[in-house]
Structure 1
Amino acid sequence: MSYVPRLVDGVEVTPILDAVGPLGAGLRRPLTELFSGGSAEDWDVVGDGEWVLHFRCYLLRGPGRVVLVDAGIGGNDSPASTWAPVPGRLVQELAGVGVAPGDVDTVVLTHLHSDHASGAIGEGVPVFPNARHVIQRAEIEWIEGGGPSPTLERVVRPLTMLIDAVNGAAPVMPGVRVAPAPGHTPGHQVVEVGNVTLTGDLVVHPVQVVNPRVVYAHDEDSERAVESRRAVLDGVRARGGAIGTSHFAEPFTELG
């Protein structure tokens, strides 16, 4: 299921829904164990029912440019298959909005967790063969420094010749840039499109918009994640903007 595009300063932003489902059995825990630091009032605002994740990517189109933000959960054999509702439908959903894999000139990976990066590889080869893959250098160093892993061996290694490692804020296309927002992972980044910020896993549950100090159990560095979340959300609010999230039920959340 794809959504109606949102035009932001001449850039068409289209949410692409790759999959929907709860955390896999191995990771599923009560919300009170997955999130800490919030009050009862925080949860009253958003509710505390079963957490069903929407696995969402974003397509950005401008004059002569086709950019994909995140690559989804991948196929049945992807590193995400142990816990996410594979196979993802990214390629089919892109086809539904008139985009073939070869049309994509840039893939931005907000970070290298398997549900955001696995769909960049299919049957051992890059799915988007004509695209540079923009990743923060700190993220690559983190995944390489952690020893052998499915994401390193089955996603990062096959992408080696296509990776554009950036160090800090960097332009992606006119009107679009990446900006570091570390904490969830050391090299996590967000994508800024005018007054809309695509947040990756900076926020994973609506309660973190209500209270940015709420900590997620799967953050690598919870203190840095809180700092990044507060800074980014405060900036979006100051601009009267919106966030585009990866896992909320609805793609855009207005903060202005």
Structure 2
Amino acid sequence: MLPSLKLGPYTVLALADGAGPFFSPRSEAFPDATDEQWAAADRFDPGALDADGRWWLRFRAFAILGERGVTLVDAGIGPADSPAAAWAPVPGVLPDSLAAAGIDPSDVDTVVLTHLHTDHVGWAVVGTDAARPYFPNAEYLLQRAELDALDAINPLLRSRLVDPLRKTDQLRLLDGATALRGGERVLATPGHTPGHQSVLVTSGRERLAVTGDLLVHAIQLLHPALAYAHEMDPERARASRERLLRTGDADTLHLATPHLTEPFVTSR
């Protein structure tokens, strides 16, 4: 059974796509972290270290099932020939996870891409010579600021991702916070990349945030101000992370994370 969380009329499913080591030591990814901070993070998420002491990542997407459709947040590492193949453990198994959830790719009506790093867009468009959107009936949502920064993030994705989505008229650019057709809300959470976005699901006084790479390791949950070496703007990322983690008038905040060992973490 797939990990899931029920929130009022919504069911949020964690969809595994793969697992493997990060491409550099975690001490390089978080150079300012102290031994005490690492010890606390390891107690919180012991599965983030493998037997050889490497930072072990999960790669997952999330499906939000509601009364008005199916929203997919991110698209994993992708098949064997995906852009993530240079470093991620492809091929991913997202199609199997979707099938286990009873979701056909044609059922998905919205795909929210949190950002344009290759391990989050792998199944968005498949094929090289005849590239096609993997979710044929979906509108793909991306922040305009992210597309504007594409050359700095990964220019390869222009031909592998953006152009095929434009060819089928499935790409929709957003400018900041936006309500989705299913009732969820996209939030601009820049810093990791210029147009990074997260998705917020609310039911009563309970909230769930699909964080994208605003949180890549438990150490950022325990110490939100800690800079991550692969953030394009660490100060903006810190501000976005701290803002998202504020519960405001919510009694409970759940976090749906793509890379932590457990897909769902309750912050309060």
Shared fold (TM-score greater than 0.5)?
Answer: yes
Structure 1 residue 86 corresponds to structure 2 residue 110: no
Structure 1 residue 210 corresponds to structure 2 residue 222: yes
How far 1:242 moved relative to its partner? 1.3
Native 8 Å contact 1:169 1:177 kept in 2: yes
Native 8 Å contact 2:2 2:101 kept in 1: no
How far 1:187 moved relative to its partner? 0.2
Native 8 Å contact 1:6 1:12 kept in 2: yes
The SS at the match of 1:54 is strand
Native 8 Å contact 1:3 1:15 kept in 2: yes
What CA deviation, in whole Å up to 9, does each residue of 1:124-148 have, x standing for no partner? 11100100001111111111x4497
Structure 1 residue 201 corresponds to structure 2 residue 196: no
Query: 5+ residue gaps in structure 2?
Result: 43-48
Query: 5+ residue gaps in structure 1?
Result: none
Aligned match of 1:132: 139
Aligned match of 1:21: 20
- CA distance in 2: counterparts of 1:141 and 1:237, whole angstroms: 34
Aligned match of 1:121: 125
- CA distance in 2: counterparts of 1:240 and 1:121, whole angstroms: 35
- CA distance in 2: counterparts of 1:163 and 1:177, whole angstroms: 18
Structure 1 residue 38 corresponds to structure 2 residue 33: yes
TM-score (norm 2): 0.88
Choose which of 189, 193, 196 in structure 2 pairs with 1:185: 193
- Paired residues in the alignment total 250
- CA distance in 2: counterparts of 1:237 and 1:217, whole angstroms: 32
How far 1:199 moved relative to its partner? 0.1
Q: Percent identity?
A: 42
Q: What's the RMSD between the two structures over aligned residues?
A: 1.7
What CA deviation, in whole Å up to 9, does each residue of 1:24-82 have, x standing for no partner? xxxx3222111133332211112264211100100111114011110111111111000
The SS at the match of 1:154 is helix
How far 1:174 moved relative to its partner? 3.8
TM-score (norm 1): 0.92
One-letter amino acid of the counterpart of residue 35, structure 2: A
How far 1:175 moved relative to its partner? 3.3
The SS at the match of 1:58 is strand
Structure 1 residue 245 corresponds to structure 2 residue 260: no
